[in-house]
Structure 1
């Protein structure tokens, strides 16, 4: 999507009810037992629009059951792609994609499980082209890319029955006169979605159910599930502004799958109109169309549950350029720690910081400080699973961890690098990959101590840390505390995003763009 079309789209969104596209069920058909029941909220019929065998169809029904079938192929079909890189988060995947593009490659960011950067499957669309590209990359010294090949003997299709006849559309539009539709998926509770729905194929051989919903209505399904329904009103207002900004800044995340944003913690939690409430609706209305900006551009509106007492720079967590407004801020109003005098990249300072518990905005919250322990056997199993998941060259050979050590921290205390010594050599984990590789850490704000048996033999490691999530930007728990102290939404956002400004989405000077560097 070019800059001009992005600006046009966001200007249209500014005048609701232009819809955004939310993937509410992303992998329908991943399991053959998957089923989805879609119903009218009041008995009035749903309108189904689709094409089948080149013929446009329109049907009416008040209840629709989508099922998964497999269709045998007369001749096996090969589905393959070049995976250029593999990442725990979209932010780092996007930075990697830009690096590959700078080399002249056409790429796409995908999410088959973890985030991946693929060589564009439409450009590199033949076995020969893919192998020539991989060979060229190998010649240039790039060892990470690989070809992933599947031989398909059957295809997954979604179908439904209306009036005794079965239909198998590739794409299906579902509408209701009141723009309210119930969806009950195999692994999801029954939820009421506003707007309309679209079932469409994705890049992984199954389907995504997409909800087309105006952004202000979308926020009704986000804010209560992110900040909590009983949060102080000013904290809820701050969440509404930041959630709106986050959504509009991230409409390009799922371009490869032809929708815009997801409905889980990889984006923002969105439950449609299920469990909306008056308090959060009031905050959304009071902040209607307000977004957070830096130099008249939408900020990268990242936030987390709990910072652990100090927010992180963007680059502490992800690859990519710094954002001036995403910086390290001690999450306290009492001056309990001076980062200039006692930077947290020094291990002695860091341990003292983690062992200090009073005076922070999050003091007393469940995830503010934590201690978790794991045996060498369990940590080794964690590591082996992780290496296989990312297709690491040592995935088939590593079995046992011999030692672990933190080798680099940022000034905010986040782990930048951890070395894991195994019988096959040292594996270096960077930033959020530490959380991906091991079960115990709840953030990258932790230190480790060995746990020894009575004979001095290594038994495991104890993880002592703080925070839950990446720790960049607003702390939802901290916002609760500040609002209770009488802070306004604007003051809360200025605290967590210094030098930013709240402005209306339809402000003429707002530069609506999807770049990630300021």
Structure 2
């Protein structure tokens, strides 16, 4: 059965976009000569070759073979590996205007999209069972987001992604702002870098063998989340995003044998867990396995299971002011008020000489405490070098994991595959109570 077509936002909020087209593209029924082109914003319109339009589409003769190029695509947006690349994409190219700026959208077959995603999220030379597991969860997540968007459009109640009071800001970040396309191309959704990342015959085989397969729970496609490294324990969905309980996205240790998991919502237990390096599938430094999961720029991050970040008083107070827009003065303390099941902080009190404020959830905390994103919110804080007023001059954050920790742990899943687990066993470990079905 044919896969559905999806719309992927590639370059967003630009004033000018440079692109290239080979043979096989049409616009408004007219053949477009191969070459390099650009579009610019003109008021609330798109300017292309002297003509103005509200929307501009370059249609591929063959969605599965024709590929266009986009210049200076930003990858790793606001993360520590952010950079620009020229990228190429199968399918059609669409330009739209949003809020006085241009966005470039790729119209592509869902299965062609997945071929790229699992080559972009990890290495296309990964093990077969890991790639199969990732194909199923990436397909499930995307279809679940499309269904969620449709239900939000039909809902009479407003959807909220933040709660704010004079003393507390709680925000979570998902993809509800993608109103004109189904999904974006960056880590905010899931990495999609077209045919820029070299795929392999194995990836194509994996897509064919899992064609249309999704995770299912209680009559609905699972909102199958994943992160780079859970740090030893999976987090629950409701502690990271909206307060909705998904039974297949709950706390669970990233191992199948061993001692019972301590209650990491208790501060003393979380501190002991984070300061040590307990066994877990994702507790590995196996370079051969990590090469399967981590692309070249990801391997710039070596300390993902347990990590340490040190800030001076000046660095931290300036950072928090710039990232939050709130002047706390000098920072006196970072005080965890509530932790999730994986030890991730979901409510953090920032105590300053000028202001006291509580922030959450985990990504808001990570964004506030880093120039990009802190590896995770599962951390403990030590202070040193108090001045004459008792204000610390050094803050040491010791943390666990890389990402939100919900659902599949990519590094843990890679180790499971290396140990001989099949993709259905991997999925059962990370998404308990779910089942795999063929959706189309």
Q: TM-score if structure 2 supplies the norm length?
A: 0.81
**Mapping for residues 305-320 of structure 1, pairs under 5 Å:** 305-320=228-243
1:198 alignment partner, SS class = strand
- How far, CA to CA, are the matches of 2:176 and 2:316 in structure 1? 33
Unmatched segments (≥5 aa) in structure 2: 74-83, 150-174, 286-301
Whichever of the two has the greater Rg, that structure is: 1
Report deviation, 1:305: 0.4
Give the alignment partner of residue 492 of structure 1, picking from 426, 431, 436: 426
Report deviation, 1:408: 1.9
Give the alignment partner of residue 181 of structure 2, picking from 249, 259, 270: 259
Contact 1:201 1:207 in 2 (8 A): yes
Give the alignment partner of residue 30 of structure 2, picking from 58, 63, 84: 58
Residue 96 (structure 1) aligns with: none
2:314 alignment partner, SS class = helix
Residue 59 (structure 2) aligns with: 175
- How far, CA to CA, are the matches of 1:401 and 1:206 in structure 2? 38
Contact 2:21 2:69 in 1 (8 A): yes
- How far, CA to CA, are the matches of 1:18 and 1:481 in structure 2? 32
Residue 145 (structure 2) aligns with: 250
- How far, CA to CA, are the matches of 2:422 and 2:108 in structure 1? 29
Residue 430 (structure 1) aligns with: 360
Report deviation, 1:281: 1.6
Residue 406 (structure 2) aligns with: 472
- How far, CA to CA, are the matches of 2:408 and 2:177 in structure 1? 27
Contact 1:64 1:160 in 2 (8 A): no
Report deviation, 1:287: 0.7
- How far, CA to CA, are the matches of 2:215 and 2:122 in structure 1? 17
- 1:445 paired to 2:382: no
Residue 35 (structure 1) aligns with: 17
Residue 151 (structure 1) aligns with: none
Unmatched segments (≥5 aa) in structure 1: 1-14, 50-56, 71-154, 389-394, 507-518
Please give the per-residue CA displacement for 1:303-324, whole angstroms capped at 9, x wherever unaligned.
1000000000112222321111
Residue 8 (structure 1) aligns with: none
Please give the per-residue CA displacement for 1:351-407, whole angstroms capped at 9, x wherever unaligned.
22123324211113430111111112111112112332xxxxxx3x53322222112
4+ residue segments displaced more than 3 Å: 253-257, 453-457
Residue 299 (structure 1) aligns with: 222
Give the number of equivalent residue pairs.
379
Residue 509 (structure 1) aligns with: none
RMSD: 2.1
Q: TM-score if structure 1 supplies the norm length?
A: 0.69
- How far, CA to CA, are the matches of 2:203 and 2:94 in structure 1? 27
1:231 alignment partner, SS class = coil
**Mapping for residues 353-502 of structure 1, pairs under 5 Å:** 353-365=273-285, 366=302, 367-388=304-325, 395=326, 397-432=327-362, 433-439=364-370, 441-452=374-385, 458-502=392-436
Report deviation, 1:423: 2.1
